[in-house]
Structure 1
């Protein structure tokens, strides 16, 4: 089986590739000649994932899956949420996003947050979604060199290290994307 993972984010691709069974050939957007930005204009994480999967299926004809992820911070009315990648502007800079988030939380004692990933699978004319959530809190400063996005300021519940300080293996076990991919894989194994 061939499946396109509709992402231009090479970090996400690397995270997901290790979780997909070997009998499924995972193709990137580059592999299928898609070099444009895939639209993400919906106002929910679920909506964006579905929109991206439908776009690839319609324009390129491949069975595919797409994900969208957001960081929801309780004290900020679940911001940045669907705007996580563009929180500090269209330049989509992770450091700018983290700095703005830390600044917005400066006077807040509630630092509870959760990462939410929704994967939309477009396969055999049907769309199915899978959701992974990882609860945790936002640290007061950045820690760690691994990961990407908000990983240096997110600590999962029960952990003393941020996502940027733990191994990719560990992150995939407890993290939002790993949980959603696990559900996706379980579904694909039933086909």
Structure 2
């Protein structure tokens, strides 16, 4: 998306329409709270709007805004940690009876719960790599860390997720008890 001459905000509304859903999914996976995720997306988009010419001129406006979003989530997590607040699953709704018969609501709640158990940096790496199918180099660029740090955080994060999702489940049973 490039800026059209003469219109500093050209393309911003289109960008929001096309990418706000993906940005929300990232924010929700990072925070586990629908309302906080909405606030983070709104703040990230507000910052992008104020500097839209610069953002639109970047190679990937979405990567730029996603980095702002991840930084905002990290800042929020650090503030809450310093104040001694619980940084876990405050706003994740209780699982509801699935309409599709496959237990997707339970699966989603369990996975978000396991993600909330990871440290924020590790969680960011896992979310960007798996939710957004980004490669090691892309994740490293967005988070401002080395590719080897991404690989390390990813391996350790997956090990922790496997361990937390393994509890109360028979060997080989799928997550959420769904067959």
Relative to the length of structure 1, the TM-score reads: 0.32
Structure that is richer in strand per residue: 1
Relative to the length of structure 2, the TM-score reads: 0.33
Structure that is richer in helix per residue: 2
